[in-house]
């Protein structure tokens, strides 16, 4: 290997001491070939992804490839919880050191009675032999998933753990408050942060992160993450750190569904530990993991609107009783009576087969193929600052009949999370079964998620939370500077109703807005807008309802509703009877 390659490998590997080393695989001590895997975050989140960096130094003269299989489980006894499996194939050209950043899918932990264990197994195979290891993280039920930069973690970790144990009163041993990361090695994909509630770092850490990593963190922040920057410099503020803020705050701001705060810190980087735990634990929104557990059971507005469907026990009980009579006494004393017992070898399978055919025909006749469902989405549209992105939080529920397959693809950069429902004869993942023995498959291939497993099952009800950041040129654009507000919608779908609050607090309304056409608003009242906003909030689970409530009083912004916007698509066999989308964001200037 050329010296330049060895130097590059050393430079790439040296900063990773702050991260969690998974394995260093050396297939032959006489060779310089090695495979190293490092988790860029030292603690896995209760859902989402764990970013992992694979460094392969192929010192041989032949091209190679490695395969990495992963299984994420919640540690539930007897496999009664859930598991998420994935696999990756990575090329290793001859004579080169290559670096691969991957996102390892994590199962959604729903079993917090055993301290919320997230355990990920890694299995290496391929051209350079085999290896295996695992990483286990525990969280309490009320604990937000927090990451701190190495600079903050080292002097504060122990005291933060003590403060967290005092505040959260864990029933199952000690709490580790935060994981750590190296800001110079942060992922450049917002999905890497999607399972975490909060990130803390210094202003120097922020500027040392790559532009791609800062952009990813800001996207995660807009989607609901809490970003806390501890400033060693008195001049650090949102503007100097390149963080856009429509509210023109200096050191704190609400950015879409998330928050960013800048807090002064002394040169020794010692934090007020109780205040820090409180800051990440009490910010007006519940931790994501708790929201997933609690928001989608009894009282979930989308499930209530979707309605119930009876489960016809009686008909199937009658058929099974008839089967028992036929295969028993009738078969024994009529079809294969004494002297003809050999007929049992023919009549018994025929009766069983006939009953199965009747049962299948009834199931198909009653439930049909595929399924139906309903969705509601909260979408923040940001045309400003060159973002041109829509930040989407979609809730969905569906009820299936007979499915011929459960695999599907998501082509948008999105994250789908199964949510536990209220216990009914149709629900398979419930708030009582803590994972329900579900098995999921999730493969990322060239930006497309290939998904299979128990996400959708035949004759079942299932709910999911989908989060996405989608590029868009859609916007509501101003067309005049005086008089009643005139706007143009560049969305490619119609909008049913739009409310707008101007800079002076005036409220305006427009209805039946066509795409690509200018429209003029008419004066409305604060009361009408509050009623509209309240109706919008009442469509969502707790976390999304609170997120929308926090945004409804922004001047210079709009809030609108449509049933014509396309949702984030999942299983093709589901017929979505309604997709209600609430859009909000700033008015774009021409």
Q: Is residue 312 part of a domain?
A: no
Cα–Cα distance, 281 to 440 (Å, whole number): 30
Per the model's pLDDT, the better-predicted residue between 23 and 9 turns out to be: 23
What's the pLDDT tens digit per position in 321-332? 877 887 778 777
Task: Report percent pLDDT > 70 for the chain.
Answer: 92
Q: What is the mean pLDDT of the chain?
A: 89
Domain end: 247, 272, 292, which one? 292
Do residues 137 and 320 make contact, with C-beta atoms less than 8 angstroms apart? no
Distance in Å from the first CA to the final CA of the chain: 56
Do residues 87 and 111 make contact, with C-beta atoms less than 8 angstroms apart? no
pLDDT band with cut points at 50, 70 and 90 for residue 7: very low
Q: Is residue 326 part of a domain?
A: no
Instruction: Find the CATH number of the domain harbouring 103.
Output: 2.60.40.10
Do residues 238 and 250 make contact, with C-beta atoms less than 8 angstroms apart? yes
Q: Is residue 339 part of a domain?
A: no
pTM of the model: 0.88
Per the model's pLDDT, the better-predicted residue between 311 and 575 turns out to be: 575
Number of domains, the chain: 2
Element (DSSP H or E) covering residue 348: helix 344-367
Q: Is residue 580 part of a domain?
A: yes
pLDDT at 358 over 90: no
Per the model's pLDDT, the better-predicted residue between 228 and 386 turns out to be: 228
pLDDT at 365 over 70: no
Q: Is residue 256 part of a domain?
A: yes
Per the model's pLDDT, the better-predicted residue between 104 and 432 turns out to be: 104
Cα–Cα distance, 493 to 186 (Å, whole number): 37
pLDDT at 66 over 80: yes
What's the pLDDT tens digit per position in 140-149? 778 899 999 9
Q: Is residue 336 part of a domain?
A: no
Domain extent, residue 516, equals: 476-586
Q: Is residue 346 part of a domain?
A: no
Describe the strand order of the beta sheet including 20-25 as a list of residue ranges. Answer: 20-25, 34-39, 48-58, 96-106
Do residues 429 and 438 make contact, with C-beta atoms less than 8 angstroms apart? yes
> Where do runs of H (alpha helix) occur along 14-75?
none
Cα–Cα distance, 9 to 57 (Å, whole number): 8
Q: Is 169 left (phi over 0), alpha (psi -120 to 50) or beta?
A: left
- The whole-number average pLDDT for the span 266-273 is 95
Domain end: 292, 323, 357, which one? 292
Domain end: 247, 270, 292, which one? 292
Do residues 54 and 90 make contact, with C-beta atoms less than 8 angstroms apart? yes
């Amino acid at each position: 290997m050329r010296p330049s390659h060895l130097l590059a490998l050393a430079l790439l590997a040296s900063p990773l001491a702050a991260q969690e080393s998974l394995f260093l695989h050396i297939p032959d001590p006489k060779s310089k070939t090695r495979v190293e895997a490092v988790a860029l975050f030292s603690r896995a989140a209760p859902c989402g992804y764990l970013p992992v960096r694979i460094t392969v130094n192929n010192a041989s003269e032949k091209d190679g490839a490695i395969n990495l299989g992963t299984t994420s489980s919640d540690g539930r006894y007897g496999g009664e919880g859930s598991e998420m499996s994935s696999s990756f194939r990575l090329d290793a050209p001859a004579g080169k050191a290559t670096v691969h950043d991957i996102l390892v899918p994590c199962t959604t932990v729903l079993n917090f009675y055993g301290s919320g264990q997230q355990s990920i197994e890694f299995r290496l195979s391929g051209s350079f032999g085999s290896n295996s290891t695992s990483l286990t993280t525990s969280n309490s039920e009320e604990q937000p998933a927090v990451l701190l930069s190495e600079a903050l973690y080292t002097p504060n970790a122990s005291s933060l753990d003590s403060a967290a144990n005092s505040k959260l009163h864990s029933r199952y041993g000690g709490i580790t408050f935060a994981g750590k990361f190296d800001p110079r090695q942060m992922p450049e994909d917002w999905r890497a942060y999607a399972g975490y509630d909060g990130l803390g770092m210094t202003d120097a850490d922020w500027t040392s992160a790559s532009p791609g990593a800062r952009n990813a963190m800001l996207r995660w922040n807009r989607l609901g993450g809490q970003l806390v920057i501890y400033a060693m410099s008195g001049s650090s503020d949102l503007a100097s750190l390149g963080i856009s803020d429509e509210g023109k705050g200096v050191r704190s701001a609400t950015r879409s569904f998330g928050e960013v705060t800048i807090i002064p810190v002394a040169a020794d980087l010692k934090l007020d530990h109780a205040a820090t735990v409180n800051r990440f634990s009490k910010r007006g929104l519940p931790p994501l993991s708790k929201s997933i557990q609690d928001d989608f059971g009894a009282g979930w507005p989308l499930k209530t609107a979707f309605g119930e469907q009876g489960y016809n026990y009686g008909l199937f009980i009658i058929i099974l009783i008839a089967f028992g009579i036929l295969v028993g006494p009738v078969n024994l004393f009529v079809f294969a009576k004494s002297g003809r017992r050999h007929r049992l070898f023919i009549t018994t399978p025929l009766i069983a087969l006939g009953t199965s055919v009747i049962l299948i025909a009834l199931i198909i006749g009653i439930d049909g193929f595929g399924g139906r469902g309903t969705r509601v989405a909260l979408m923040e549209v940001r045309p400003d600052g060159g973002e041109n992105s829509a930040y989407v939080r979609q809730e969905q529920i569906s009820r299936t009949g007979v499915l011929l397959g459960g695999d599907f693809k998501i082509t948008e950069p999105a994250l789908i999370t199964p949510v536990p429902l209220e216990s009914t004869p149709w629900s398979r993942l419930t708030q009582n079964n803590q994972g329900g023995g579900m098995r999921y498959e999730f493969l990322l291939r060239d930006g497309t998620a290939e998904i299979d497993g128990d996400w959708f099952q035949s004759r079942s009800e299932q709910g999911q939370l989908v989060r996405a950041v989608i590029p868009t040129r859609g916007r509501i654009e101003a067309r005049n500077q005086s008089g009643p507000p005139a706007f143009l919608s560049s969305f490619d779908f119609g909008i049913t109703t739009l409310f707008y609050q101007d800079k002076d607090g005036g409220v305006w309304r427009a209805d039946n807005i066509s795409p690509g056409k200018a429209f003029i608003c008419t004066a409305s009242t604060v009361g009408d807008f509050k009623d509209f906003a309240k109706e919008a909030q009442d469509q969502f689970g707790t976390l999304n309802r609170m997120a929308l409530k926090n945004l409804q009083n922004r001047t210079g912004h709009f809030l609108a509703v449509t049933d014509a916007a396309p949702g984030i698509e999942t299983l093709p066999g589901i017929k979505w009877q309604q997709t209600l989308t609430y859009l909000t964001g700033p008015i774009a200037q021409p």
